[in-house]
């Protein structure tokens, strides 16, 4: 059999890759808050490409070393390595408060898998040039979707477990990784015919992710309502001078026995500023949901500098003492991170600058 033509190769590559990106764009479209910007999605895809290149090097070397047991390595060696490396960036995003909801973790996880699938399928396009189009349909709707799905599973489960804790300990990432490895290994073992497993992934994965989207939206709405009311009530009490009458005010007064008056004053300022920024972030989320643009606020930079100063002023012991009054959940930390991103001046792309220049010419 001769070498396939360029058009055949492009068709095979398209069939094996386009379904993954179509599904990724669908996930981004369903996200009503658009909290994962397109720039981050594309960057995450590139991370997945880099992970795939590293895994191809590791796996090629491993197959040379374990040539006699290559089958066992494909079942029990490659899946843990690939899933761990794919999940590493998603874990970083969660631990650094750059994703805050299940839907965000799902999108970022699938984006890593999409990038991984691109590089892997390019490699197999060259190595398996004589195979039929059916193989590439299976790779596109099966293997490639599996890579995106398993990394999404890691992000979803890890994000869910993290929301229930105030600290991001490493063990919360183990369950998602174990499930991803089991799915990957079972897929490599081909317990069912390839077409059957492809159909199962094609039907099951969208259903699972849509259910997660619905749960994430409901969770977000509840969180916005409950926390926003608390932030506004606290700010109202402080501004009207009635904070001392509340339980929180009584708790803060009790700290005067352990801390100097000026430190207790900084604690009150920290509580007030944190609540103000928290309420502002929730307002931005509501504006996003309503379809209104959220523009950077130049004053936020100074407020975050003041926040850092107050945290340094009260010290570690002071922060532990007022922890009951502060928003310290992982979701709240993500909220503060998102708002802090808005404090930075927006960088215009060359395309945006070009449009702006055209607009100015039209006005002259």
Element (H, E) at 314: helix 300-321
Average pLDDT for residues 296-309, to the nearest whole number? 81
Q: Could you report the per-residue pLDDT of 195-243, keeping only the tens digit for each?
A: 777 777 777 777 777 777 777 667 766 666 667 677 777 777 877 778 7
What gap in Å lies between CA 155 and CA 159, rounded to an integer? 6
- Are 40 and 162 in contact, with CB atoms under 8 Å apart? no
Within 13 Å of residue 211, how many CA atoms lie on the same side as its CB?
A: 7
- C-alpha span between 17 and 122 (Å, rounded): 9
Identify which of 28, 36, 5, 45 has the alpha carbon closest to the alpha carbon of residue 101. 36
State how far the Cα of 241 lies from the Cα of 269, in Å rounded to an integer.
13
Which one has a higher pLDDT value, 274 or 288? 274
Cα–Cα distance, 206 to 183 (Å, whole number): 16
pLDDT digits (tens, 9 = 90+) for 99-122: 867 888 888 999 999 899 888 888
Question: What does the pLDDT average to over 289-307?
Answer: 76
Query: What is the average pLDDT across 135-150?
Result: 78
pLDDT tens-digit readout, 153-170: 999 888 888 876 655 578
Residue 4 clears pLDDT 70, i.e. is over it: no
Q: Give the model's pLDDT for residue 247.
A: 76
List of E strands, the chain: none
Average the pLDDT over each of 75-84, 88-97, 141-150, 157-166 and give the range with the smallest value. Answer: 157-166
With beta carbons less than 8 A apart as the criterion, state whether 142 and 203 touch: no
Positive or negative torsion for Cα 30, 95, 76, 127:
positive
Domain segments of the chain as ranges: 6-217, 241-350
Categorize the per-residue pLDDT at 53 as very low, low, confident or very high, splitting at 50, 70 and 90: very high
- SS3 assignment, position 35: coil
């Amino acid at each position: 059999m001769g070498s396939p033509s360029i058009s055949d190769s492009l068709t095979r590559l398209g069939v094996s890759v386009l379904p993954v990106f179509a599904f990724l764009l669908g996930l981004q479209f369903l996200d009503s808050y658009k909290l994962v910007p397109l720039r981050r999605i594309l960057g995450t895809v590139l991370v997945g490409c880099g992970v795939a290149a590293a895994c191809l090097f590791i796996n090629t070397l491993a197959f040379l070393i374990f040539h006699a047991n290559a089958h066992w390595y494909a079942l029990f060696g490659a899946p843990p390595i690939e899933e761990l490396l794919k999940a590493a960036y998603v874990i970083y995003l969660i631990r650094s408060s750059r994703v805050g909801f299940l839907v965000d973790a799902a999108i970022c996880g699938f984006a890593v898998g999409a990038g991984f699938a691109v590089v892997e399928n390019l490699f197999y396009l060259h190595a398996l040039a004589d195979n039929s189009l059916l193989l590439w349909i299976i790779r596109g709707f099966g293997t490639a979707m599996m890579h995106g799905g398993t990394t999404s599973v890691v992000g979803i489960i890890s994000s869910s477990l993290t929301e229930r804790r105030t600290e991001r300990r490493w063990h919360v990432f183990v369950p998602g990784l174990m499930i991803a490895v089991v799915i990957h290994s079972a897929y490599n073992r081909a317990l069912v015919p390839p077409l059957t497993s492809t159909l199962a992934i094609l039907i099951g994965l969208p259903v699972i992710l849509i259910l997660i989207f619905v749960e994430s939206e409901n969770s977000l709405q509840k969180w916005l309502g409950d926390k926003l009311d608390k932030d506004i009530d606290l700010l109202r009490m402080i501004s009207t001078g009635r904070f001392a009458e509340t339980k929180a005010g009584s708790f803060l007064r009790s700290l005067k026995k352990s801390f100097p008056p000026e430190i207790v004053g900084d604690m009150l300022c920290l509580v007030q500023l944190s609540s103000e920024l928290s309420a502002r972030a929730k307002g931005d989320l509501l504006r996003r949901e309503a379809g209104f643009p959220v523009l950077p606020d130049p004053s936020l930079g100074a407020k975050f500098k003041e926040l850092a100063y107050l945290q340094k002023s009260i010290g570690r012991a002071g922060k532990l003492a007022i922890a009951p009054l502060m928003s310290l959940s992982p979701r709240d930390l993500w909220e503060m991170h998102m708002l802090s991103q808005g404090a930075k001046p927006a960088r215009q792309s060359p395309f945006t600058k070009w449009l702006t220049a055209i607009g100015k010419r039209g006005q002259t």
